Amino acid sequence: MRQWPDDRVAFGGDYNPEQWPRAVWDDDMRLMAAAGVSFVTLGVFSWSWLEPTKGEYEFGWLDEVMDLLHAHGIAVDLATATATPPPWLSAAYPEILPVDREGHTLWPGSRQAWCPSSPLYREFALALTDRMAQRYHDHPALAMWHVSNEYACHNLPCYCDTCAVFFRRWLERRYGTLDALNEAWGTAFWSQRYTAWDDVLPPRITTTFGNPTHELDYHRFGSDTLLDFHVAEKEVIRRHSPDVPVTTNFMTMSGFRLLDYHDWAPHQDVVSTDHYVVDALEHPRAELSFHGDLTRGLAGGAPWMLMEHSTSAVNWQPVNPAKPPRETLLDSLTHVARGADALGFFQWRQSRAGSEKFHSALVPHAGEDSDRFREVCELGAVAGRLGELVGSRVEADVAVLWDYEAQWAVSGPCMPSAALDYPQAAHTVHRLLRDAGVTCDVVHPDTDLSGYRVVVVPTLYLVSDPAAERIAAAAAAGTHVVVTYFSGISDPDDHVRLGGYPGAFRDLLGVRVEELFPLRVGESVALAGGGSGSVWSEDARVRDAEVLDSYADGPLAGRAAVTRRTVGEGAAWYLGTLPDDATLAALLARVTDEAGVAPVADVPAGVEVTRRRSASGSWLFVLNHTDAGCEVAVTGHDLVAGADVGPVTTVAARSAAIVREA
Ligand code: GAL
């Protein structure tokens, strides 16, 4: 077997040779060499080519591709090909098709048209996985297994009758008795009390608002169901191929919230993910950095793989702008700056047919004689020079907490404000700290927080008692804990913690909120300190804290908006609203200053900095997102330019330096 290439930051992408005549494959090998491609992900959507009719397998073409890649020194991340069934499968067994909330069947003709609970689908998928693992486990090109593809992307939640059966089983395991389920779901409300398991349904379309805990459990059930399937596929691979790492590509970008990746991550030999820049976001590059820090958090701080991103436009937005020159280089190196050791793209050669024909690729429609392909070759060459930092880890003194369960709960029906966006507080704090040169780990509330100087708790609406206790203990031990609005409100059953908000953090913060005052979209409230707040406000009564800022107008005029309480060796800071950027940045500067957190380097606005370190050295990443050159005080060897630099280095506009520090 091929070792995963670690003499460089691995560089490559999805390879779909079945879309092309045989002659093109040789051209692919020539161009992959020119671009410095060191790995490809193969076979993701190949099922109908590998098993064109039931039980009849055709591996000849894949054997040939594997051999060809091996002959050209390219490592293969081989897919199980189980992401999308062939048409014959759903034609013969239409019961495998997923069903939406309104009861419509989702028909074949696109991709991922299978019900996550379907035992039949699982049987066919495991049979193919078994064949794949048997055939290729000792192929010399094989370096990694890629199970399925972006689980859940299109087929979760499914509301079919099979899911109903498996949901009941899942609930029986979780609750044991119907009394426990009734208690957890609060079914005394609206005559919802269940007296037989068979009466429980998926949360299908209803007359009006559904039961929030029912919906929350359906999210948990969906994530658990697909994880169970994933583990089953992995076990089949393991039987034949015990030593080759196994991964599946997550979707940690902010719009995706269907799976609880904190449950999934421990099952990955290497955490891998996909990321695409969403044009509609106000701060798309800050979101990119956040996603990298979240993925690193999922990997427990270890390096991770970027399985997919794009060289230029995607094809799934209403308008899909191309990336300006050098943007791809900056995007790719930002992922590396946040801990990625592999840069994969969707896809190698831009399709000429199908729904992704206008999605960019490493080889564009224009062919090799194009600026895009020249840029790809340049990026491949840079990746080739980064081998020395592979395995190193990103340094961070600050943690931002992230919890998919809290996100599910806060996005449930009938909340105080549908405009409350779970990622907003986390993204805003992360962005402002990034702008200040401070790196954050994005981690689950159950993480050991003791090593962090600052822990931010953004809109952690739902929180368990042990997690809340751990957060309070971190403060007592010297951490500065920053809790934002609408945190600590409910328990894991989504029952409100009584006695005043934020129930789980009331004592830690020394404030007690009597009523919530969400702000209307576009509305803001003046703060006495001169700034303003938006999104949210809360009627906080201070019991044992210092008031740092208060509301200057509106129904809460005079009440505390921002407070600080000294706790043991640390402090607990509370934000009842989302302050404007300048006000929040100043507050965060005060927090980090008191906590002794220094920026990674002094750089002008718009320049992003991180540091990776290993036993053999440290590397300073400088990502200049501005249209002007910037100066950074650093001495060492710039791996991007391949030149020695210092004591002051100029990083050109829209460019990057990665300096091995002297
Ligand atoms: C991903 C997927 C790829 C491709 C890409 C386009 O969701 O894994 O197969 O569809 O998006 O952006």
Ligand 1 atom 12, closest CA: 314
Mean of the pLDDT values across residues 317-340? 97
- Asked whether 512 lines ligand 1 (CB < 6 A), one says no
d(CA 39, CA 141): 9
Banded model confidence at residue 140, pLDDT cuts 50, 70, 90: very high
pLDDT in tens, 149-194: 999 999 999 999 999 999 999 999 999 999 999 999 999 999 999 9
Q: Is the CB of 564 under 6 A from ligand 1?
A: no
pLDDT (mean) for 643-659? 96
346 pocket-lining for ligand 1 (C-beta < 6 Å): yes
Contact predicate 640/658, CB 8 Å: yes
Contact 468, 488 (CB under 8 A): yes
Tell me the average pLDDT of the chain. 97
CA of 32 to the centre of ligand 1 (A): 20
The values of phi and psi at residue 147, to 5°, are -85, 125
Alpha carbon of 346 to ligand 1 centroid (Å): 6
pLDDT for the residue numbered 105: 98
Nearest CA to ligand 1 atom 7: 150
Atom of ligand 1 nearest to the CA of 307: 8
Active-site residues, by number, are: 150, 308
Q: Whose CA is nearest to atom 5 of ligand 1?
A: 346
Residue nearest to atom 3 of ligand 1 (CA): 346
* Structure confidence at residue 254 as a pLDDT band (50, 70, 90): confident
What average pLDDT does the segment 648-657 reach? 96
Helix (H) or strand (E) holding 223: helix 212-240
pLDDT of residue 317: 96
Q: What is the mean pLDDT of residues 527-542?
A: 98
pLDDT level of residue 3 (50, 70, 90 thresholds): confident
Residue 15 CB–ligand 1 contact under 6 Å:
no
Question: Residue 152: beta bridge partners?
Answer: none
Statement: residue 486 has pLDDT above 80: yes
pLDDT digits (tens, 9 = 90+) for 389-413: 999 999 999 999 999 999 999 999 8
For range 323-344, the mean pLDDT:
97
Q: Residue 364's pLDDT is what? A: 98
DSSP 498: P
Looking at ligand 1, which atom is closest to the CA of residue 149? 8
User: Distance from the CA of 148 to the center of ligand 1, in angstroms?
Assistant: 12
Q: Which residue lies with its CA nearest to atom 9 of ligand 1?
A: 346
pLDDT in the model for residue 5: 87
Q: What is the pLDDT of residue 421?
A: 93
pLDDT-based confidence at residue 2 (cuts at 50, 70, 90):
confident
Query: Does residue 47 surpass a pLDDT of 80?
Result: yes
Q: What is the largest CA-CA distance in the chain?
A: 76
- The mean pLDDT of 307-315, rounded to a whole number, is 98
The model's pTM is: 0.98
Q: How far is CA 258 from CA 37, 251, 411, 566, 572, in A?
A: 32, 9, 12, 38, 32
Distance 216 CA to ligand 1 centre (A): 27
